[in-house]
Amino acid sequence: MIDENPSVTPTVFVIDDDPAMRKSLTWLIESVNLNVEAYESASAYVEKHDPEQPGCILLDVRMPGMSGLDLQAHLREIRSLTPVIVMTGHADVPMAVRALKNGAFDFIEKPFNDQVLLESVQKAIEQDRRIRRESTEISDIEDRIDNLTKRETEVMDYVVDGNPNRRIAEILGLSEKTIEVHRAHVMDKMRAKNAADLIRMVLTARNFRAATAPMPR
């Protein structure tokens, strides 16, 4: 679970093996009063990675050892939600497109326009803030679902699929009155105002987890 903490200042993580580029980006990002941490390699960042730290990543594609694409794949595997902005030279554009298809927030060609890069960073930080807020809400919904009994979960799933009480009773071999009781418990534990509210919560949680699930190997 990722807790949204407004007191934690976002950090821009610069990952590039070029010392001059790291220095230039650090200066540029600090000039707009943003925190920045610079790393000379993807593996160095992995060692310090903190999923609770909000912000975004500025990631070079070509680096010795673990490449930018390798790091991106690793972050997807551990279900990191931190937005990644890929930095690339002209010859690396196909790689950047591949990174976008794998979920990168944006890619910036070198040499880049300072304002364009800063605007992308600000948008990535805003996305990170929104996703963390949504993740907290989703975790709360999932906690409520975990509090349901096995039978209540079954009834909830059938309700979400659009089945009326009578049909659920037939499927589960129970009386309609029993289904009404289970359904009432579900509504109470989920804190749902009505069936539409219940369906919205459950589908929102399912869709969010599907969208943030690790990529298959």
The per-residue pLDDT for range 129-180, each reduced to its tens digit, is 998 888 888 889 999 999 999 999 999 999 999 999 999 999 999 999 999 9
- Does residue 112 contact residue 43 with C-beta atoms inside 8 Å? no
Q: What is the pTM of this model?
A: 0.70
Token pair, residue 33, equals: 């009063």
Looking at 96-100, 101-105, 120-124, which range is the least confident one? 96-100
Cis ω before 19 (30° cut-off from 0)? no
168: Cβ contacts below 8 Å, ≥ 6 apart: 155, 158, 159, 174, 179, 183
157: Cβ contacts below 8 Å, ≥ 6 apart: none
Token pair, residue 216, equals: 């298959």
Pairing of strands 35-39, 55-60: unpaired
Q: How far apart are CA 101 and CA 139, in angstroms?
A: 27
29-74 per-position pLDDT tens digit: 999 999 999 999 999 999 999 988 999 999 998 899 998 989 998 9
By percentage, how much of the chain surpasses pLDDT 90? 64
For residue 39, count CB atoms less than 10 angstroms from its CB and return exposed for 0-12, middle for 13-18, buried for 19 or more: buried
Number of Cα atoms under 13 Å in the Cβ half of residue 162: 0
Q: How far apart are CA 71 and CA 209, in angstroms?
A: 21
Return the SS3 of 108: strand
Q: How far apart are CA 125 and CA 54, in angstroms?
A: 8
**Over residues 90-110, mean pLDDT:** 80
Cα 150 off chain centre by: 28
